[in-house]
Amino acid sequence: MPHIYTRDEKVDMLIIYGECRKNAVAARNLYADRYPDRQCPARNYFNRLENQFRREPNHDPEENVIIDEGTEINVLFRIEVDKTVSLRQIGVELGISHQTVSRILHKHNYKSFKYQLHQHLYENDHERRMEYCNWILHNNVQPNNALLGRILFSDECRFTNMGLFNRQNTRYWSQENQNLLREGNFQVRFGFNVWLGILGRRIIGPIIFEGPLTGARYLGFLQNEIEDSLTQLPVHLRQGMYFQQDGAPPHNSRIVIDYLQQAFEGNVISTNGPVRWPPRSPDLTPLDFFVWGHLKNIVYATAVTTREDLELRVRRAINSITAQQLANVLQETAMRVQKCIDVNGQHFEQLL
């Protein structure tokens, strides 16, 4: 005699079937793992169950479905209980189509929003963030973001052939599906690190290097490549310049701090510098909130073939950044500093 499943069991099966994107084998395995004390159905039962529910009048996605007040209340209550629940799951639970759920939510002005990722902050981080932002605000009173234009923001980032290709944002138009393929070679891995600086409307660098960054290696960059680049700048840009770096261990080695203090006459923004850089604050440095993401969108637009190809792309992408873009970034940095102060050093990117 075949096992008779309860309505709740059937709902759970349909939810899992949807989670597994209608892969019956995967759905059966997941159902068995999630509900080990229940009778596990055959894999073809999931498809039959879906068809059964679709044949029932209350589950057909009809355009002219009459939505009663009770159904609206149930949908709104369910979305308030769990704002991350899918429309299909609500539909299965309430016995209506997900199109009906969508119409109810739109009727009551509900919209779909994406999560924003941000850096985790420790308990006392907001104090350091406020200290830094107030220093910027106090000294940036001259026109054209005078102080921000004298800060050499610096950072390192890694580029590899494993960079993510965004299929969601990369489309092609055709009258028929051309079944285009994008080749990837993930068996052969290569990559390198890039140091880059931003000073006002200028790019300093890049410096491309292999392997890990150590204090001694970083000091070599500062004394040679970076110093050579800075000596080519106009005198008025070098006067009163500040050097900014984040809290990476190589940045805070004794030999590096001693050199920076001497080379920049104490104008150093660092974890333990005269101006203390707030830890866990990528939202306040233009390399993190703009440059690296901008470069990777360009570099990884098509498949990377060789290391030489990757390096050429990185250099071209850096060279494509305009002075106007950097001016806009300075303005955004000033705005972010003010937003950080407005929220007492807490997260602010959701307010931008």
* 45 is a domain residue: yes
Domain boundary among 107, 140, 172: 107
Burial of 248 (0-12, 13-18, 19+ CB in 10 A): middle
Domain boundary among 107, 139, 163: 107
The C-alpha angle 340, 343, 344, rounded to 5 degrees, equals 85
Which pLDDT value is given to residue 166? Answer: 46
Q: 50 lies in which domain range? A: 7-107
* 116 is a domain residue: no
* 113 is a domain residue: no
Which pLDDT value is given to residue 193? Answer: 92
Which pLDDT value is given to residue 133? Answer: 92
Which pLDDT value is given to residue 3? Answer: 76
Q: Are residues 186 and 221 in the same domain?
A: yes
Q: Are residues 252 and 162 in the same domain?
A: yes
Query: What DSSP line would sit under 57-98, residue for residue?
Result: GGGS--TT----HHHHHHHHHHHHH-TT--HHHHHHHHTS-H
What is the three-class DSSP state of 180? coil
Q: Are residues 34 and 133 in the same domain?
A: no
**pTM of the predicted protein model:** 0.64
* 112 is a domain residue: no
* 117 is a domain residue: no
Query: What is the CATH classification number for the domain harbouring 292?
Result: 3.30.420.10
Q: Are residues 133 and 281 in the same domain?
A: yes
Q: Are residues 102 and 179 in the same domain?
A: no
Q: Calculate helix-pair angle for 43-55, 7-19, nearest 10 degrees.
A: 110
The 3-class secondary structure across 18-43, one letter per residue, is HHCCCCHHHHHHHHHHHCCCCCCCCH
Residue position matching structure tokens 């307010």: 351
Q: Are residues 131 and 103 in the same domain?
A: no
* 114 is a domain residue: no
Q: Are residues 24 and 151 in the same domain?
A: no
Which pLDDT value is given to residue 317? Answer: 95
The C-alpha angle 337, 245, 131, rounded to 5 degrees, equals 40
Tokens of 282: 């990528």
Q: Are residues 88 and 147 in the same domain?
A: no
Q: Are residues 89 and 170 in the same domain?
A: no
Which pLDDT value is given to residue 194? Answer: 94
| 182, amino acid identity | R
* 85 is a domain residue: yes
Q: Are residues 230 and 173 in the same domain?
A: yes
Q: Are residues 198 and 259 in the same domain?
A: yes
Q: Are residues 183 and 55 in the same domain?
A: no
* 276 is a domain residue: yes
Domain boundary among 80, 107, 134: 107
Burial of 106 (0-12, 13-18, 19+ CB in 10 A): exposed
Which pLDDT value is given to residue 142? Answer: 56
Query: Total structural domains in the chain?
Result: 2
Which pLDDT value is given to residue 326? Answer: 94
Q: What is the pLDDT along the chain (352 residues), one digit of tens a residue?
A: 567 888 778 878 888 888 888 888 888 899 998 898 888 998 888 888 887 766 554 443 444 556 777 788 788 878 877 888 888 888 888 888 888 888 888 888 888 776 655 566 767 888 999 999 999 988 875 554 588 889 999 999 999 987 654 444 444 444 455 554 445 454 568 889 999 999 999 999 899 999 889 999 999 999 998 888 888 888 888 888 999 999 889 998 999 999 999 999 889 999 988 999 998 888 999 999 999 999 999 998 888 888 999 999 999 999 999 999 999 999 999 999 999 999 998 888 777 7
